[in-house]
Amino acid sequence: MHEAELAEIYDQAHRSRGKDYEGEAAQVTALIRERFPQAASLLDVACGSGAHLSFFQNHFGRVEGLELSESMLAVARERLSAGLLHQGDMRSFRLERTFDAVTCMFGSIGYMPSVADLQSALGCLARHTTPSGVVVVEPWWFAETFVDGYVSGALTTMGGRTIARVSHSVREGNVSRLRVHYVTASAEDGAQHFSETHDITLFSREDYRNAFAQAGLVAQYFEDVFSGRGLFVAVREGGDGP
């Protein structure tokens, strides 16, 4: 299967495992408003196919997304009725404005290969946040909490195509290697199998805490939120824009 087709089925495959993008967007919005009641703009970094943004746009006057993958961005562009989408790397992007809230959801921050990259990414998120604005990061599993050998599976049907997604994750040093297998089947194409591998870094909770502090972000960690990996909610101390 082509990368573009994978982007099309990406969030549907996760929805079929019970992922509630609408509920998550509402919960994150509430956490942002508790800290910054007048928050009117939001940037979702590593926005993927725009699933959270499609609900954030109901809560914020202005929403924008940033994403590395052009295939994901293409799906996000089709989905979003409003909002700007940017191609870029979370470590180095530079938009000419700040946002009252900046989010990075669903463990995307784990794609940073080192502590230095984690620090660069959080620094970049902080520089795009209004002073006193809020940064929300859903981390990947911590080195302390990752379950070696974890298996997950889900089955869904959309647009005449049935998709089975099965993943297996193993620890390789400080990395979790996630092997995802897809079997898709439709009346026209029959059944096909393909797989992909993701290397996602197992930072410690302390790595995150230090990186937030270094970025000038005062972070709180909430356990047992969403996927069970928890959520960092941080407020930016005073400072200059990008």
Among 36, 55, 99, 111, binds ligand SAM (CB under 6 A): 111
* Binding residues with ligand SAM: total (CB under 6 A): 17
Contact segment (CB under 6 A) with ligand SAM among 55-63, 67-75, 127-135, 208-216 equals 67-75
Please, what is the minimum distance in Å from the beta carbon of residue 16 to ligand SAM?
13
Among 83, 107, 216, 230, binds ligand SAM (CB under 6 A): 107
Dihedrals φ, ψ of 202, to 5°?
A: -95, 80
The Cα 218–Cα 214 span in angstroms is 10
Q: Does 8 bind ligand SAM (CB under 6 A)?
A: no
Please, what is the minimum distance in Å from the beta carbon of residue 34 to ligand SAM?
22
Q: Does 231 bind ligand SAM (CB under 6 A)?
A: no
The long-range contacts involving 157-163, CB below 8 angstroms and separated by at least 24 positions, are 158/9, 158/12, 160/186, 160/187, 160/188, 161/9, 161/185, 161/186, 162/186, 163/9, 163/12, 163/13, 163/16
The Cα 52–Cα 46 span in angstroms is 11
Pair type for strands 99-104 and 129-137: parallel
Residue nearer to ligand SAM on the CB measure, 124 or 217: 124
Q: Does 11 bind ligand SAM (CB under 6 A)?
A: yes
Please, what is the minimum distance in Å from the beta carbon of residue 25 to ligand SAM?
10
Among 68, 115, 154, 164, binds ligand SAM (CB under 6 A): 68
Please, what is the minimum distance in Å from the beta carbon of residue 164 to ligand SAM?
19
What HEC string does 34-92 produce? HHCCCCCEEEEECCCCCHHHHHHCCCCCEEEEEECCHHHHHHHHHHCCCCEEEECCCCC
Residues lying near ligand SAM in the complex (CB under 6 A) are found at 11, 46-48, 51-52, 67-69, 72, 89-90, 105-108, 111
